[in-house]
Amino acid sequence: KFLLGAALAALATGATAQTIGFSQIGSESGWRAAETTVTRQEAEERGIDLRFSDAQQRQENQIAAIRSFIAQGVDAILLAPVVATGWDNVLEEASEAEIPVVLLDRQVDSSDDLYLTAVGSDLVHEGEVAGEWLVENKPEGECRVVELEGTTGSSPAIDRATGFRNAIEGHDDIEIVRSQTGDFTRSGGKEVMESFLQAEGGGENICALYAHNDDMALGAIQAIKEAGLDPGNDILIVSIDAVPDIFTAMAEGDANATVELTPNMAGPAFDALEAYLYDGTVPPKFIQTESTLYTQDDDPMAEYEKRKDLGY
Ligand code: GZL
């Protein structure tokens, strides 16, 4: 109560708005690095004292960071949860300390009583957009697809797999023949794509790659080239995030389509927190960000220019 009162008093006097702890997953992808950059910028603009923790993609480090933020008596916590399960206890502790938690870019299986709101895209819909692009752009006949999944147990890996399968359902000439996690990293995408190529006769009979993020697709493109094949033509490449480097790949004909994920989850999160801390406005449990498809027809280098300085 005291904390909330202090925060309200501070806000009422227009003093420094809030001290907010941010438990970030890590920097596994260009998109994640951009999210961190944008969050710092948004906090700076709002006069928020941002306490930042990089968990190196380990849930135990995130849990420890949240406990530290509670001990510091922060006014609120941002959490990008690396996986969907295992959060009940620490979220209960934040709730008991009356510190609101806002989820960024991934979801948790915990009861939504345990967080104020979640800011993110419709992860299932992203997978559907990717799958629909393949349905409409695949070559005639059978299309054997390999899939690079995100971090095992993360809500984007689960939901993007679901969405893609929703879209290709009923199209019997499209078949996902191999799926494996590349952990959302370029190196992971390259290593797993190398194994897919070896397992699939050098890649001659792979029609398309669906990667849950652009960084894994970019790693896979390297592996496809090293195998002597032409990414974007011999093997179609569809992924998610819309990072700058996927647009240069598109301009070179090495990638075909991406679904944009904004790195600015913090803006809506800070807005919701200020409304909540300042005048008790309770936000909806989910604040959805847009998902837009970009292909080689959308002037990729212009899209690259728009994004190249955003901290990816
Ligand atoms: C999705 C987000 C994913 C990005 C990846 O909302 O959690 O995590 O698509 C990142 O680039 O690793």
The pLDDT-based confidence of 1 (bands split at 50, 70, 90) is very low
Decide if 211 contacts 189 (C-beta within 8 A).
yes
The pLDDT-based confidence of 3 (bands split at 50, 70, 90) is low
> What is the Cα gyration radius of the chain?
21
Separation of alpha carbons 4 and 51, rounded Å: 18
Is 291 near ligand 1, meaning CB less than 6 Å away? Answer: no
pLDDT(141) > 60: yes
Is 29 near ligand 1, meaning CB less than 6 Å away? Answer: yes
- Cβ-Cβ contacts under 8 Å for 155 (sequence gap 6 or more): 81, 84, 106, 107, 108, 123
Residue with tokens 């700076």: 44
Separation of alpha carbons 110 and 115, rounded Å: 9
Atom of ligand 1 nearest to the CA of 32: 10
Separation of alpha carbons 174 and 158, rounded Å: 20
Decide if 216 contacts 7 (C-beta within 8 A).
no
Half-sphere exposure of 90 (CA within 13 A, CB side): 22
Note the ipTM here: 0.99
Is 312 near ligand 1, meaning CB less than 6 Å away? Answer: no
Single-letter amino acid, residue 117: T
**% pLDDT > 70, the chain:** 95
Separation of alpha carbons 78 and 266, rounded Å: 8
Closest CA to 294 of 263, 256, 262: 256
- Express each pLDDT in 143-180 by its tens digit: 999 999 999 999 999 999 999 999 999 999 999 999 99
pLDDT(13) > 60: no
Q: Which of 25, 32, 239 to mutate to test the pocket of ligand 1 (most atoms within 8 A of CB)?
A: 32
Separation of alpha carbons 4 and 75, rounded Å: 7
DSSP-assigned beta bridge partners for residue 294: 258
Q: Which of 105, 152, 288, 310 to mutate to test the pocket of ligand 1 (most atoms within 8 A of CB)?
A: 105
Decide if 160 contacts 212 (C-beta within 8 A).
yes
pLDDT value at residue 207? 98
CA–centroid distance, 31 to ligand 1, in Å, is 7
State the DSSP code for 213. Answer: S
Averaged over 183-195, what is the pLDDT?
98
pTM as predicted? 0.94
